[in-house]
Amino acid sequence: MPLSQQARIRLAVVAAIVVLPLLYFHRASLTDEVFIARDILRVYYPLKHYWAERVSQLQFPDWYPYDGLGQPYAGMLISGAFHPANLLYLLLPLGSALKLITLLSYVAAFGGTYLFARLWDMRRGAALLAGLTYALSGYMVGISNNLLYLMAASTFPWALWGAERFLRQPSAGRAAATALPLCLVLLSGDPQSFALCNGMLLVLVLLRPARADVLRAAPRAGLLIVLGALLSAVQILPVLGMLKDAQPTAATFAQASMFSFHPLRLLELPLGPLFVDPELARAASPRMANELFQSGMGTFWVPSVHLGLPALLLLAGALWTWRRHPLTWKVAGLALLVLALSLALHLPLYGWLYRWMPFWNAFRYPEKLLPYFLFPCALGAGAGLEALLREPPLARRLAMAGFGLALVCGLLALGEWQGRLFSDGVVGALWKNADPDTRLLLHGNFLTAALSAAGTLGLMGLMLLQEGRLKLRTGALLTLQFGVLYLANEGTYQVTYTDLLEQPSGLVDVILQREPDTSAGRPRVFSAVENPLPAELPPGLDLLDVTALSLVSSLAPNTTALWNLESANSYLPAHSRRLGGLITTFDSFSIWMGRLFGLFHVRYIALEARDFAEMRGNPEVIVAEDRRIQSVLIGNPRVLPRAYLATPVCVADESAARALLGSRSFQPGQQAILECAPETPRPEAAPGSGPLGQVRFLHHAPESVELEVEARAPSALVLNDAWYSGWSAAVDGQPTPILPANVLVRGVLVPAGTHRVTFTYRTPGLRLGAFISLGVLGLLGLAVLVERRKTPASP
């Protein structure tokens, strides 16, 4: 049976939504490559590897032992422990699953934006342009190395689509179509996007045309927000349960405002990634990122925010066409408000929210807000194409504007070619200490971008003058926008090869050969290698490949988790608040090397060879050397066992414990500083000197440890793993309190004799959260079924 014309159109639209993003990233085959920029390698690859490993054994990962002496896994929002996409890690190799999820994120962003645009009466061509512009914008392509933020930015258009439909005509199905993607935004691991998405639901209420519509829609939006929160309870309650024990991610405004967007980067919207090295797809120089753009991190959050001149010209046409419509300026005002928030160091709005709005100080990196600015811009571009289709005379006006702007871009290119108008005039004025190489790179970038912009605008002007061929002109504009985005942004999409991670290398291989996995696990390591890149790239490997190999070779966290090596480094954001306090108190690396690493069972330390020479270290402690990255592996001669008995020394609180830990009177290994409650019985000091007994591991797993203790006197049993309130302990089956030991780790008091001591971890709030989420999900499903049965079938 032949398809109708409408069916063929729908099939073509679906094919475009699926195929265009995949064509954009043509380099990404599912078998040969994997996304491995730093964040993928150091965060998502280890976290998802751990999740798949545990769940495949029918065990839920409550505890993650491989970062900062351990931290909660489910309570660590960045882990995305409950996102349904995790199931792909059980079905596919890890690298392929990461790749597929990333590619599907672009398809989701494309499809969600398309549907939202169609809901506002845009024709298919205009909606396709909006979806194309958002999904393949510089931000979305550049964030491919940071999976959770890509997934959140790809999901929220679906939540807005469902919410708008529900606000217009409530139903159980439409409530579920909103609450589920809203929940997925949080389950992706991005709380700030979840908060903003909830705020956008309220904004949709304010976009109602009449006061009566606003009053009617407000409780509906409130219901959606409550449903989204209840569905997310399985993630929200564990996060709330560990907040008091975790280090704040943005303890100061300086930390919160890192990766603040800079006004100069607004030039990237029309011209492309001006400030990155096109061969490396990252900041032209760390000095420029820190000194000119004040990122605080030596690089950009994303290397590009490019939207493309065709989209921006159409956006201008939409603003002009509907300049008298109140909705136009409501949406424009919202977009500018989000942009103002992202300019945290240059406008005061973000600082006000940080200081005065509850929970806002838990967020950081203002550039993460940019999707909520780029999304309405993409919709505006679609609205501009819609205006062209409705008002043909607008095409000639935009064509003339395009020709005029092409002339301006040509003059800018001439000014840069002859007098370095941008690289010396603009950048040189703002950045007095700019180095010649960076200026030369910016000169080439701007010259290329200006000439490309002139050509693009001229070509667009010619397309707009083709009157009477609406379908052909729409297709040409879509093709032009696709090409512009591809040429500017495709290089910021970073990939490398999976086989780089299949075998341990460098210092990791040395440790694995020396330390087989035992009943107490493998030894803990620490990496002090700040820049592991070799001086020259090995033949046949590019910079990303070498970065991956060097990070693994230098024991960088959390790459060591791939081989079950625990790291004392704290790289993930949910590490212990106590560890953060110790790092602040003892900020000298020599103190950690000489005293604290051994105290906390850090057996191996990776150091740059130059730093070890400057410390005048004993060459006899060098276990191995990696000449490729100029680093050495140190075997710690003063390391204490993972579990041992010591004489308890009770103090009142954490500050007193830190003070005693740094004093000369404290004897590591012989004494254990315990933070005892007033009612805790104080054991008498053990008579004589020498070992207080023996400790033997009977069982060791991330969430449960069982020890056999032979104590010849009342003692403190110290287990050198991070203290968190979700842990419980029992001595011979009788519950006993776990006391913070030596500020950071766990300790229990044991009487003299032979005893069996167990430690068990349960994520606080997990069971209640799972009960609430599953209950609400079941009720929503039941409501949808009942609604469908009551609704008569359409003819």
CA angle 576-44-183, nearest 5°? 85
Place of tokens 């424009």: 332
Place of tokens 């049993």: 717
Residue pair 50/66 in contact by the 8 Å Cβ criterion: yes
Q: What pLDDT, on a 0 to 100 scale, did the predictor assign at position 174?
A: 93
Give the least confident one: 116-120, 276-280, 414-418: 276-280
Query: d(Cα 386, Cα 384) in Å, to the nearest integer?
Result: 5
Query: d(Cα 551, Cα 567) in Å, to the nearest integer?
Result: 13
**Residue 594 DSSP symbol:** I
Task: Read off the pLDDT of each residue in 567-587 and give the average, rounded to a whole number.
Answer: 86
Task: Read off the pLDDT of each residue in 144-165 and give the average, rounded to a whole number.
Answer: 93
Query: d(Cα 389, Cα 391) in Å, to the nearest integer?
Result: 6
Q: What pLDDT, on a 0 to 100 scale, did the predictor assign at position 22?
A: 57
Residue 723 has pLDDT above 50, yes or no: yes
Query: d(Cα 46, Cα 604) in Å, to the nearest integer?
Result: 20
Question: Any idea how long the chain is?
Answer: 795
Q: What pLDDT, on a 0 to 100 scale, did the predictor assign at position 646?
A: 92
Q: Mind listing the pLDDT tens digit for each residue in 162-190?
A: 999 999 999 999 999 999 999 999 999 88
Examine residue 501 and state whether it is found in any structural domain, yes or no. Answer: no
Number of domains in the chain: 2
R_g of the chain computed on alpha carbons? 29
Q: What pLDDT, on a 0 to 100 scale, did the predictor assign at position 509?
A: 81
Please, is 136 exposed, middle or buried when counting C-beta atoms within 10 Å of its C-beta (0-12, 13-18, 19+)? buried
Q: Mind listing the pLDDT tens digit for each residue in 33-46?
A: 333 456 777 888 88
Examine residue 356 and state whether it is found in any structural domain, yes or no. Answer: yes
Examine residue 776 and state whether it is found in any structural domain, yes or no. Answer: no
Q: Mind listing the pLDDT tens digit for each residue in 405-443?
A: 999 999 999 998 988 888 888 888 888 888 888 888 889
Instruction: Give the predicted TM-score (pTM) of the model.
Output: 0.90
Query: d(Cα 369, Cα 298) in Å, to the nearest integer?
Result: 20
Query: d(Cα 560, Cα 547) in Å, to the nearest integer?
Result: 15
Higher pLDDT, 298 or 262: 262
Cα four-point dihedral sign 451, 452, 456, 459: positive
Residue 116 is encoded by which pair of tokens?
């939202």
> With pLDDT > 90 as the criterion, what percentage of the chain qualifies?
43
Task: Read off the pLDDT of each residue in 733-747 and give the average, rounded to a whole number.
Answer: 92
Examine residue 219 and state whether it is found in any structural domain, yes or no. Answer: yes
Residue pair 607/529 in contact by the 8 Å Cβ criterion: yes
Q: What pLDDT, on a 0 to 100 scale, did the predictor assign at position 493?
A: 74
β-strands 622-626, 643-651 pairing: unpaired
Structural domain boundaries, residue 693:
643-766
Strands of the sheet with 524-527, listed across from one edge: 566-567, 524-527, 602-608, 631-635, 622-626
Q: Mind listing the pLDDT tens digit for each residue in 4-51?
A: 655 555 555 555 555 656 555 544 443 333 334 567 778 888 899 999
β-strands 602-608, 524-527 pairing: parallel
Which amino acid appears at position 494 of this protein? Answer: Q
Please, is 617 exposed, middle or buried when counting C-beta atoms within 10 Å of its C-beta (0-12, 13-18, 19+)? middle
Give the least confident one: 105-114, 257-266, 427-436, 448-457: 427-436
Q: Mind listing the pLDDT tens digit for each residue in 604-650?
A: 988 888 888 877 777 788 888 877 777 888 888 888 999 999 999 99
Examine residue 782 and state whether it is found in any structural domain, yes or no. Answer: no
Query: d(Cα 472, Cα 468) in Å, to the nearest integer?
Result: 9
Whole-number mean pLDDT of the chain?
85
Query: d(Cα 187, Cα 77) in Å, to the nearest integer?
Result: 8
Q: What pLDDT, on a 0 to 100 scale, did the predictor assign at position 244?
A: 87
Query: d(Cα 739, Cα 660) in Å, to the nearest integer?
Result: 16
Query: d(Cα 374, Cα 133) in Å, to the nearest integer?
Result: 9
Query: d(Cα 385, Cα 312) in Å, to the nearest integer?
Result: 11
**Distances from the Cα of 119 to the Cα of 123, 173, 379, 698, angstroms:** 10, 16, 11, 61
Query: d(Cα 480, Cα 466) in Å, to the nearest integer?
Result: 15
Q: Virtual CA dihedral for 508, 527, 301, 198, nearest 10 degrees? A: 90
Query: d(Cα 177, Cα 165) in Å, to the nearest integer?
Result: 9
Examine residue 579 and state whether it is found in any structural domain, yes or no. Answer: no
Residue pair 474/385 in contact by the 8 Å Cβ criterion: yes
641: helix, strand or coil: coil
**Distances from the Cα of 470 to the Cα of 154, 319, 474, 475, angstroms:** 30, 21, 6, 9
β-strands 282-283, 276-277 pairing: antiparallel
Question: Residue 694 forms beta bridges with which residues?
Answer: 710
Query: d(Cα 268, Cα 425) in Å, to the nearest integer?
Result: 17
Examine residue 433 and state whether it is found in any structural domain, yes or no. Answer: no
What φ, ψ does residue 742 adopt, rounded to 5°?
Answer: 50, 40
Higher pLDDT, 423 or 359: 423
Q: Virtual CA dihedral for 66, 70, 73, 76, nearest 10 degrees? A: -110
Examine residue 17 and state whether it is found in any structural domain, yes or no. Answer: yes
Q: Mind listing the pLDDT tens digit for each residue in 303-315?
A: 899 999 999 999 9
**Distances from the Cα of 428 to the Cα of 43, 433, 435, 690, angstroms:** 37, 8, 10, 68
Query: d(Cα 214, Cα 184) in Å, to the nearest integer?
Result: 27
Q: What pLDDT, on a 0 to 100 scale, did the predictor assign at position 488?
A: 85
Residue pair 592/639 in contact by the 8 Å Cβ criterion: no
